[in-house]
């Protein structure tokens, strides 16, 4: 079983309920209550992670990418103002890739927000947990992929979060 959502239904399986009740560990009602609590806890945890990710993307990452793109664009414009013979190929390549990453991040933010809203709207905790697992987590992965790519291009002074190299090699 690869996920909590896959494993939790076994908690309330007939075999496990018999085991718990036979040894007077839990009553059937307690087993189902604990199952509901575990589902609710899973949903709340993923929801908090997704909402945190959305806030970071909206308030830190996208503004950082846009600020860096502005700086690169100004550099290219300054070079061209001096002489049209100066190459702006590196700036153009960086801007193209950053623009694609910013678009991907923006789209992923919208899709993640929609998935979170749809999952939260469900009343059945089991269906809600499945929605968080099957819909929200993949959208979080998509946003993460776009942000990771943008981090490799964005200037270090612009990126608001510590880089992997700083976390690994600086104490």
pLDDT, tens digit, 9 for 90 and up, residues 109-119: 999 999 999 99
- Phi then psi for residue 89, to 5 deg, are -60, -45
CA 51 to chain centre: 9
CB 109 within 8 A of CB 61: no
* Predicted local confidence at residue 168, as pLDDT: 84
Torsion, CA 21, CA 24, CA 25, CA 27, rounded to 10 = 50
Other CB atoms within a 10 A radius of the CB of residue 27 amount to 12
CB 105 within 8 A of CB 61: yes
Torsion, CA 157, CA 163, CA 166, CA 169, rounded to 10 = -150
pLDDT, tens digit, 9 for 90 and up, residues 124-136: 999 999 999 999 9
Query: Which stretches of the chain drop beneath a pLDDT of 50?
Result: none
* Predicted local confidence at residue 171, as pLDDT: 57
């Amino acid at each position: 079983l690869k996920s909590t959502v896959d494993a939790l239904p076994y908690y309330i399986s007939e075999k496990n309920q018999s085991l718990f009740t036979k040894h007077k560990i839990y009553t059937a009602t307690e087993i189902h209550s604990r199952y509901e609590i575990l589902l609710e806890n899973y949903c709340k945890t993923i929801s908090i992670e997704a909402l945190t990710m959305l806030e970071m993307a909206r308030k830190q990452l996208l503004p950082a990418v846009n600020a860096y793109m502005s700086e690169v664009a100004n550099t290219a414009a300054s070079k061209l103002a001096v002489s049209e013979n100066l190459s702006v190929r590196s700036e153009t390549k960086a801007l193209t890739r950053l623009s694609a990453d910013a678009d991907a991040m923006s789209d992923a933010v919208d899709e993640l927000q929609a998935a979170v809203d749809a999952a939260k709207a469900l009343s059945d905790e089991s269906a809600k947990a499945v929605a968080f697992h099957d819909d929200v987590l993949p959208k979080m992965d998509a946003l993460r992929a776009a942000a990771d790519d943008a981090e490799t291009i964005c200037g270090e002074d612009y990126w608001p979060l510590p880089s992997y190299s700083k976390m690994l090699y600086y104490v």
